[in-house]
Amino acid sequence: MKLCIVVGTRPDIIKLSPVIRYVSENNIDFFVIHTGQHYSYNMDKLFFEELGLPQPKYNLGIGSKNHGEMTGVMLIGIEKILLEENPDMVLVLGDTNSTLAGVLAATKLHIKVAHLESGLRSYDKKMPEEINRIVADHLSDYLFAPTSISYGNLIGEGLSREKIMISGNTIVDALIKNLEISNDKSKILEQLSLKPKDYFLLTIHRPENVDDKDLLQTIFESLELVYNEHKIRFLFPVHPRTKKNIEKFNLKIPYFVKMIDPLGYLDFIQLQNHARLVFTDSGGIQEESCILKVPCVILRDHTERVEALEVGSSILAGLNKEKILEATSKMLTINNSWENPFGDGNSSMKIIKYLINKVNN
């Protein structure tokens, strides 16, 4: 089997790192296309270096564009590479524009497509990610649902059981391997003068949250209510898009929020692992905090990671100030003995063995 793996963002790199490592160690013919959707050193290249992965064979260097233009340019670039390389299968993950472009390019060339992290649904079509993941699921040949809930979503949309495997989520594989490395190598708490469980970790990056001045201001005002109630400071690794908009809107960062540049994965794992609570609009961080047994307040009205809600590791707060304060108080008192619902850490091996069997039979 000759395999093409398409990545585009930091979460793609993290979640596909154990897949790339497995195919590399088992001498499976593969190559990686990086679209460059995340394009700063700290947002992509550093992750390949830290995780000990080979640099991508191709990097399209797309950068920041509007959704339609970005997807179109990616589609052109990926199609040219697929025509030249002629792989047996294209493997994509998740719900990004890179995912959508990879699926469309491969499907139009009649190349089989495997979609990891299939079946996630927020049922909020205002989110571009929801559109991407629905299209990817309905065009792909092999669907790897992380849990029984995502499996049920796919069946409910009329997709064939023959195409679906419940595989767990490769984020568990990545965390198990990299947490131990991070414990040994990262000194980020000492560098930032932080004590374990003595800070809240904040990440916000979704366009619907950070592209609107009033909503972004509401988030900071909500954090002020939380700080006044609990007297715990916030650490805020700021996404490039968020930083740009903070500057554009001339917003003042509250004194109890420490804003820092994006971090490498090993450092970020440590910050998550030792945070008192995580506040985020990121889907992947909801999963990671659940696996790490760190409670999470979700700064969104909907989530496609309902498994974390069901086990009690996360709570939806939206962008309502009173709800965020109430959610914080609740999550500070919960028992973090929940079961990890996202898999056993062997998802990458299961997925690749399944695909090899399908190609060879």
pLDDT under 50 in the chain at which residues?
none
What domains appear along the chain, each with residue ranges and CATH number? 2-169+343-360 (3.40.50.2000), 178-331 (3.40.50.2000)
Compute, in degrees rounded to 10, the torsion defined by CA atoms 34, 39, 44, 49: 90
Integer Cα distance of 142 and 164 in angstroms: 6
- Distance between start and end Cα atoms, the chain: 12
Give CA angle at 13 (9, 17), nearest 5°.
170
Q: Distance between CA 17 and CA 54 in Å, rounded?
A: 10
pLDDT for 289: 98
Catalytic site positions = 205
Q: Which positions ≥6 away from 211 have C-beta within 8 Å?
A: 241, 245
* Model pTM score: 0.92
Nearest-5° angle of CA 340, CA 166, CA 305? 50
What pLDDT score was predicted for residue 154?
98
Contact indicator for 39, 16 with CB cutoff of 8 Å: no
pLDDT value of residue 33:
96
pLDDT digits (tens, 9 = 90+) for 190-220: 999 999 999 999 999 998 899 999 999 999 9
CB 196 within 8 A of CB 280: no
Q: Which tokens hold the place of 312?
A: 């009690």
